[in-house]
Chain A
């Protein structure tokens, strides 16, 4: 089981590194359905000027498109998918993941600032029936690598940096 998680997580880290290169908060994710990645996402907050454009939301959009093209029902696909993401989903994304009805989320490090799967509140398990069913979380997979990426990002954010290099911390 562990090895499988590592395999998919490797993929999400490539996306997080890409985000970092583009000056975005380094978070990457992938939806895995029937043993294959059907959609990936990385943080695109600065690119889209939308503070809600987190990796998970980007990937959800792509899954919906993927289902559309194949004529699959997205509810069915989401229910049988797992989301792999480098950082614990934030409160907003945890809410989004319940609405689409994903059943498993595997993540790297905790999200101390906005975490919605236990760190700030537990949206994934909260009693919110109209939001959709709760989902299961496995955290702490390859934590160190996820933490190091975030450290690299926030290092470039000290006040001595030129103004234009400083980004809004959004995930």
Chain B
């Protein structure tokens, strides 16, 4: 498989599918700002403002904006627009000719920046503090995985592609899935799609999850002839799970699937506590990046990492001449 590793070296692939909060452009909100006429008053004004008007939801903003040029005025945030109802503002001793200018509106970043890109965009508006999340930065860097790891991932995805090809040959939806235990690199279950057969819920991912349960003596579905294809290695639990009454979960496991999962499959992966999902090509109503981002949905008790674009071309090609286009 050496050729696979070398090919596409320069092409971007394995893109992390992150929560929108990391990707959104900077949103702004209006605040009242005054100009300080004399720098020596800074400390006094600053103390008064931080007591009277703490920047509750805007603590990422620096209170003062100074300019590089020497004689430029200092600008200081008074408060957000909501706080400054007419009355409160009147009681303020600002607008005094000697110390402060009349307050005026300025657009400032509404949220703390979470990525370097957001930070650089935010400071175009107003100075902000920025605490870089090392993990997110690493994910965005493009070097999150080692060469050796990506090679392994490609190998697993290639197996899913083989299964998808098999499904295609049988006029089934050309989607394949593989569950792997990354700690041992062992394949736990492999499947292909069969939703247009006898059972509309037999999506590749749902079958794969059931096969995994089956490998532990569980499982819910019976499969037809194609079952011979599905790999269910008989093995003892490697997880030291001594409570046999608990469901067998995908904790710590990776899923490789050629097509972005639908919302049913994406939620089945939440229930099964999968660790990471790698998919090849996006789907029109996909739930892991296209229409929804269920893996980072707020309110749910489990989240998982998602990477897309692994062997994307190969996965896309599977759908050539396919009328279903799910």
Instruction: Please list the residues of chain A having a beta carbon within 8 angstroms of any beta carbon in chain B.
Output: 23, 44-46, 48-53, 57-58, 60-61, 64, 68, 74, 90-96, 99-100, 113-114, 116, 120-121, 123, 126-131, 163-164, 167-170
Contacts and interface: CB of A to CB of B under 8 A. Distances in A.
B60 interface: no
A46 B246 CA distance: 5
Contacts of B218: 48-50
B251 to A, nearest CB: 10
B198 A52 contact: no
A57 B217 CA distance: 19
Interface of B, helix, strand, loop or mixed by DSSP? loop
Interface in B35-52: none
Contacts of A45: 247
B129 interface: no
Nearest to A58: B220
Contacts of A49: 213, 216-219, 246-248
A126 B230 CA distance: 33
Contacts of B292: 121
B151 to A, nearest CB: 31
Residue from B210, B271, B299, B326 with most neighbouring chain A CB atoms (10 Å): B271
B219 A167 contact: no
Interface in B79-95: none
For the complex of A and B, the 4 pairs showing the least CB-CB separation, nearest first, are A49-B218, A95-B264, A92-B267, A50-B213
Interface residues of B, number: 43
B201 interface: yes
A127 B217 CA distance: 38
B26 interface: no
B104 to A, nearest CB: 42
B285 A91 contact: no
A48 B297 CA distance: 27
A50 B209 contact: yes
B297 A46 contact: no
Contact of B285 (A51, A92, A128): A128
Contacts of B186: none
B219 A48 contact: yes
23 contacts: A46-B247, A48-B219, A49-B213, A49-B217, A49-B219, A50-B218, A51-B271, A52-B210, A61-B220, A68-B198, A90-B271, A91-B263, A91-B267, A95-B262, A95-B264, A96-B264, A113-B300, A116-B267, A120-B299, A121-B292, A128-B285, A129-B284, A169-B301
Given A51-B272, A61-B220, A114-B267, 10 more contacts: A45-B247, A49-B217, A49-B246, A51-B268, A92-B267, A128-B291, A130-B283, A130-B285, A168-B246, A169-B301
A50 B210 contact: yes
Interface in B223-272: 243, 245-249, 262-265, 267-268, 270-272
A123 B267 CA distance: 11
Nearest to A163: B243
B199 interface: yes
B247 A170 contact: yes
Contacts of B220: 44, 48, 50, 52-53, 57-58, 61
B273 interface: yes
A51 B246 CA distance: 9
A8 B247 CA distance: 30
A100 B294 contact: no
B2 interface: no
A114 B263 CA distance: 13
B159 interface: no
B318 interface: no
